[in-house]
């Protein structure tokens, strides 16, 4: 099911499957900013990563005395999320643990997505509630894919990723298996931008840490049109696109990391974004501005 939010600036469509932002249309020029999930390229729009970001060792979580199969990025991105409320420029969806989720993640919990429009900004707040009798460790992150180019008059090379401050982006290497192995590299030195080009994504994603920038955006160089994500409250920000011709760029603010390559499958030994006591909740917000 699709839900529509609208104001004078934007028309936003959120799909119940995965609680994904499937469309952001900017009214002044009709530009569609979200990747349209072509399954031949990559079949998602903006998945929520929960209860972990990236991969775990052997696709396995050992928790509460048993092994559970948990695929890359967890279950939230593939499940139907239910409507809680929709009024004006605000939409609330929820995903409550059930028999199926407990098979892969044996904790009773509730994940709430709150979408709010404010002028040319979209706020997406994720709230995790612990409904279990035990403490709940979890990882979480965002994975929105923005369409590039914005229109038929441009190509991908007409765009660049811009930091709000000068950076020497230090990246945590998790290639080739999608698991961390203790290696780091710099994506650049004393830079404020990166060109959008196939070479940037030839070896998959880049997981940047210790950024000082408040925002990271995709900018159309000749017009200044942009999609800008507020990353200031996130310890990690990834950029990714499928190798080959660039059709979209993901800006992914994360609160946690994939598992270490030689690390344990024991869930309690994996670094978490937060650990909630029974009855506690935790929230984070990604704000994206669609600038003219």
Angle at 173 between CA 171 and CA 177, to 5 degrees: 150
Position 182 scores a pLDDT of: 84
List the domains of the chain with CATH numbers.
2-291 (2.70.98.10)
Token pair recorded at residue 148: 């590039």
What is this structure's pTM?
A: 0.97
Place of tokens 């038929």: 152
Question: Are the beta carbons of 189 and 166 closer than 8 angstroms?
Answer: no
Q: What is the DSSP string of 85-137?
A: EEETTEEEEEEE--HHHHHHS---EEEEEEEEEETTEEEEEEEEEE-SSS-EE
Cβ-contact 93, 81 below 8 angstroms: yes
Distance CA 118, CA 6 (A): 10
**pLDDT single digits (tens) 194-238:** 999 999 999 899 999 999 999 999 999 999 999 999 999 999 999
- Mind listing the pLDDT tens digit for each residue in 124-162? 999 999 999 999 999 999 999 999 999 999 999 999 999
Instruction: Please classify residue 290 by burial: count the beta carbons closer than 10 Å to its beta carbon, then call 0-12 exposed, 13-18 middle and 19+ buried.
Output: buried
CA distance 92 to 219: 30
231's tokens: 């990353």
- Looking up tokens 């709010």 gives 116
Is the pLDDT assigned to residue 176 strictly greater than 90? no
pLDDT tens for each residue of 110-125: 999 999 999 999 999 9
The Cα–Cα gap between 262 and 118 comes to 44
Give CA separation, 227 vs 27, 75, 104, in Å: 14, 27, 35
Map residue 267 onto helix, strand or coil. Answer: helix
No. of H helices and E strands in the chain? 1, 25
pLDDT tens-digit readout, 32-78: 999 999 999 999 999 999 999 999 999 999 999 999 999 999 999 99
pLDDT digits (tens, 9 = 90+) for 6-22: 999 999 999 999 999 99
């Amino acid at each position: 099911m699709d839900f529509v939010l609208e104001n004078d600036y934007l028309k936003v469509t959120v799909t119940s499957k995965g609680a994904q932002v499937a469309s952001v249309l900017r009214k002044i020029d009709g530009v569609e900013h979200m990747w349209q999930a072509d399954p031949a390229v990559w079949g998602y729009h903006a998945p929520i990563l929960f209860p972990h970001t990236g991969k775990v060792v052997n696709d396995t979580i050992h928790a509460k005395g048993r092994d559970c199969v948990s695929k890359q990025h967890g279950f939230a991105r593939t499940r139907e999320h239910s409507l809680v409320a929709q009024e004006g420029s605000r939409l609330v969806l929820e995903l409550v643990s059930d028999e199926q989720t407990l098979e892969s993640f044996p904790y009773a919990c509730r994940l709430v997505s709150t979408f709010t429009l404010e002028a040319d900004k979209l706020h997406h707040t994720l709230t995790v509630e612990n409904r279990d009798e035990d403490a709940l460790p979890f990882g979480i992150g965002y994975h929105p894919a923005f369409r590039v180019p914005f229109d038929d008059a441009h190509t991908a090379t007409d765009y660049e990723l811009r930091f709000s401050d000068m950076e020497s982006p230090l990246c945590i290497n998790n290639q080739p298996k999608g698991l961390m192995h203790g290696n780091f590299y710099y994506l650049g030195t004393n830079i404020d931008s990166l060109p959008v080009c196939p070479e940037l994504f030839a070896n998959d994603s880049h997981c940047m840490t210790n950024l000082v920038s408040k925002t990271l955006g995709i900018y159309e160089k000749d017009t200044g049109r942009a999609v800008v994500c507020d990353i200031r409250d996130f310890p990690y920000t990834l950029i990714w696109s499928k190798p080959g011709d660039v059709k979209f760029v993901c800006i992914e603010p994360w609160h946690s990391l994939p598992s270490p390559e030689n690390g344990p499958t024991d869930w309690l030994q994996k670094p978490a974004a937060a650990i909630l006591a029974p009855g506690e909740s935790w929230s984070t917000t990604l704000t994206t501005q669609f600038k003219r």
